Structure 1
């Protein structure tokens, strides 16, 4: 007859494995959501860029700001970054290894760009910064699925 205490570590390991697997599923869902958010944020950035390129009078300045650029230059910056972010977001959703590192880098760049864009679109800039911070968190915390435990 087997000793009941010999099964206790397995039960504990099973619970620990289940906990790690559910954390991994949550993180994987967060990564998928981050990919979707990257694509949406990139599309909105591209649209804002096109608006700034097409008409310099679409955006009005809120006041004096230390960092000033021509709106057409800002438009080209937002358009280029938006297209790259959409591509990286699609890569994140497909699970491409290169996309996570690039996604973190692009999200950090978006935080900087949106901070500089504050005088032109203050509310959207703050929303975009919050999205980028979530994307950084989701892409940095996802560790992949836990390996399956061999059955005895």
Structure 2
């Protein structure tokens, strides 16, 4: 006799995302990525607006950094939206992109220190939320 098991009766339920932390990470990625896109556009369009604070070891062209922030921001926004579908690759891409964005914002410190620190903190929360676990254990 063949049994017809639905996903709900077997104790397995399909959800777009497993916990609230994934949704939290997705929202942070969408908004943080959008801020990175705007930061990149601002650096590309008006690169003489940014002032380097003192002597800094990492001196790069502001327009080049604008493109880095723009591309990383777009990748982060796309991965953030894809997290709502439950795609595992979006979780992996989110951790990698957030890590790269942390590095980019660390190197961006002399141009906009306060903004960079906020973006680094957002990326830390994203990485934590994406790696905290994908499901809850029932007691």
Class of the TM-score when normalised by the shorter of the 2 chains:
0.7 to 0.9
1:85 correspondence with 2:76:
yes
CA contact (8 A) 1:46 1:78 kept: yes
Q: Which residue of 1 aligns with 2:88?
A: 97
How far apart, in 1, do the equivalents of 2:82 and 2:132 lie? 17
- Matches for 1:2-151 after TM superposition, within 5 Å: 28-146=19-137
TM-score, scaled to structure 2: 0.82
How far apart, in 1, do the equivalents of 2:134 and 2:66 lie? 36
How far apart, in 1, do the equivalents of 2:137 and 2:81 lie? 24
How far apart, in 2, do the equivalents of 1:126 and 1:41 lie? 12
Taking only aligned residues, the RMSD between alpha carbons, in angstroms, comes to 1.7
CA contact (8 A) 1:36 1:93 kept: no
How far apart, in 2, do the equivalents of 1:60 and 1:125 lie? 14
The answer to which structure has the higher helix fraction is 1
Larger CA deviation: 27-36 vs 45-54: 27-36
CA contact (8 A) 1:115 1:125 kept: yes
Q: Which residue of 2 aligns with 1:19?
A: none
TM-score, scaled to structure 1: 0.75
CA contact (8 A) 1:42 1:85 kept: yes
Structure 2 gaps of 5+ residues are 1-17
Aligned length: 122
Structure 1 gaps of 5+ residues are 1-26
For 1:67-118, what per-residue CA distance to the aligned partner results, in whole angstroms no more than 9, with x for missing partners?
1110110011111111111001111122211100111111111111110000
